[in-house]
Amino acid sequence: MKALKKSTVFKGARGPVVLVIMDGVGIGKYAEGDFVLSSKTPNLDWLMKNGVSTQLKAHGKAVGLPDDSDMGNSEVGHNAIGCGRVFNQGAALVNTAIASGSMFAGQTWKELIANVKANSSTLHFIGLFSDGNVHSHLDHLKAMLKQAKAEGIKKVRIHPLIDGRDVPPTSALEYVEPFEAFLAELNAGGVVDYTIASGGGRMNITMDRYNANWDMVKRGWDTHVKGEGRMFASMKQAIETFRAEKPGILDQDLPPFIIERGGKAVGPVVDGDSVVFFNFRGDRSLEITKAFEADDLKEFARGPKPKVCYAGMMQYDGDLGIPRKYLVTPPAIDRTMGEYLAATGIRQLAISETQKYGHVTYFFNGNRADKFNEALEDYVEIKSDVCPFEDAPRMKAAEITAAVVKAIESGKYGFIRLNYPNGDMVGHTGVFPAVTIAVEAVDEALGKLKAAVEKAGGIMVISADHGNADDMYEHDKTGAVKCGKNGQPNAKTAHSLNPVPAIVYDPSGTAKARLSSAKDLGISSLAGTCIRLLGYEPPSDYTPSIVELG
C-alpha cells in the first residue's frame, strides 16, 4: 500500500479532521413524520447554514444495492463511506449467484445436500423472513427451497425470524400467508415435507449483534435447535395469539414459538442435519453462527451441540473465517481510507457505542476486523445499555462526545471518526417522543464537538449512513399519512430512501472549501472529502470529493 500524495493546494488544518456519522438522520421528503425537521436542532441548523453543505444519496445503487428502490443500511453505508467507492453488496451478489446457478453449483451447496441424503436427515433454513433486502430476501429462500426439491431433498424445516423493522412494523401476516401457499405447492403430491418449524421476532431471538445481548441468541438456540418453547399449530396462529395477548406489539418483538405435530416440535435440529443461515448481512449473523460452530461456547449454556453441516449465505467475517462454509463470496473490498491513512502515517481514532462500534471499525475498513497499523489506530467501544432503546433514547451520545472532545484536545489524532446511533436505533422503535429526544441528543453533541474543533483548529465533516428518523410516518402513494383505527399515524420503523446531509465546517477557513462541480454524489464521496481536508490527494478511482479547496 502506497502512501497518499500530498496536496498542492492545501497542506491540512492545524487540528484533526473529525467525521461525524449521525446514524439514521436523513433529509425528509415529507414534513409530517420527519422527526429530524420537527426536533430542536439549533446546532445542526447552524452548521447547515454556515458550513459548506449538500445532500448525498445513501440508498440503492449509490451504496451497491441492486436497485434504487432498496433502502440503504448501516453496513453498506459504512462500507461506502470507508472505502470511497461503490461495491456490489450482499443482495446483488446473491441475486447474481442464484440467477447464474453458481450458488447451486458451488461446493458448499453440494455438501449441504449430500449430507442430508447420506443421513436421510433434514435441511433447515434459519433467517430473516422478509423482502426488505437489508439482511435477507424471501426470494432467496424460495429459490433454495425449489432447488432442494429439484435435487430430491424430502424434508425441510424453516425457522423464520419475523421482521417488522425493514418492512412495515406489523406486516408479518402479509408474508406468512403467501409463503404458506408457496409451501403448499411444493408439498403437493406428498413427495416432500417442507414446513415452518419455529420462529420469533428478530429483536427477541437469534439476531443479536456485537455481543450486546447473548440471551437473544440463547432463546433462538432453544427455539430453533432444541425445539423448546410455546407450541402452536401454525405460524399464523402464533402471531395472532401474541397480538391478542399484547395489543400493539411490533413484529420485531414477537416472542418465540414452536410449531407442533402430535404435541411434539416438528423440526428441532439433530445430528446429521444440514443448516443454512440465509441472511447475507454479517452483523446479526455472527453470534448464531458461533453457537453452531464453536466447540467451546462460553456465552450461554448451549447443551450438546448437534453434529450438523452448517453454512451461512455469505462469509460474515473474512479475517476470522466465519462461517467455515458459505454459499456466496462477499465483495472483496480493498484500499479503504483507513488503510491509506495508516500507510501515510496518520493516527486515527474510531469510536462509537456497542450498537455501532463494528460499523466505524469492521465495516468502515471494508469488512476487516484487524487494524492496519496497531501503532496508529485506536478503537474505542462504549458499552451500550441493554434495554429497549425507547427507554434510553439519548443512548451513549454524551459519553461518545466526552471521549471525542478529549481526543481532539489531546492533539494525538489526525483523523477521528465516530457514530451516533440514536437516529437509527431509536427510529426503529417507532416511539415518536423517544425519537425526538434521540435526535436532540445528537444535536447537543454536535454543539460540543463544534466548540472543541474550533478551539483545536480542526475541520468537521458531518453526514449520515442512511435516513430513518426523517421518515417516521407511513404515507400512501399520494403522500398522505396513513393512520390507524385510533386516528394516530402509523409508525414507519424502516430506513428511509431519503438523501442525507453532508456538511464541511472549517472554522478557521484555511481550506477555502467550496462545493465541487460533481453531481449526484453518494456517501462514498465522504472518503475523498476527508482525505482532501487532511491535505492529501484522494486515489484517482475514489468517488469525487464534495468540496474543492484553495
> What's the CA gap between 337 and 259, in Å, rounded?
48
Q: Hey, CA dihedral for 402, 403, 404, 407, is it positive or negative?
A: positive
Classify burial at 270, counting beta carbons within 10 Å of its beta carbon; exposed 0-12, middle 13-18, buried 19 or more. Answer: middle
The active-site residue out of 7, 39, 74, 285 is 74
> What's the CA gap between 273 and 115, in Å, rounded?
7
* Cell matching residue 132: 426488505
* Cβ atoms of residues 491 and 475 within 8 Å: no
Q: Which has the closest alpha carbon to 473: 69, 26, 22, 31?
A: 31
What residues have CB less than 8 Å from 38, skipping those under 6 apart? 31, 436
* Cβ atoms of residues 81 and 526 within 8 Å: yes
Active site residue 74: yes
CA max distance for the chain: 77
Cell 404435541, located at residue: 263
> What's the CA gap between 503 and 483, in Å, rounded?
35
> What's the CA gap between 18 and 356, in Å, rounded?
17
What residues have CB less than 8 Å from 226, skipping those under 6 apart? 268, 303
SS (H, E, C) 126-181: EEEECCCCCCCCHHHHHHHHHHHHHCCCCEEEEEEEECCCCCCCCCHHHHHHHHHH
The length of the chain, given as a count of residues: 550
> What's the CA gap between 538 and 103, in Å, rounded?
36
Q: SS3 of 350, please?
A: strand
CA distances from 316 to 43, 164, 313, 335, 347 (A): 38, 23, 9, 19, 28
Other C-beta atoms lying within 10 Å of the C-beta of residue 132: 22
> What's the CA gap between 23 and 60, in Å, rounded?
17
Q: Which has the closest alpha carbon to 510: 462, 456, 546?
A: 456
Q: Which has the closest alpha carbon to 239: 179, 189, 178, 171?
A: 171
Residues annotated as catalytic are 74
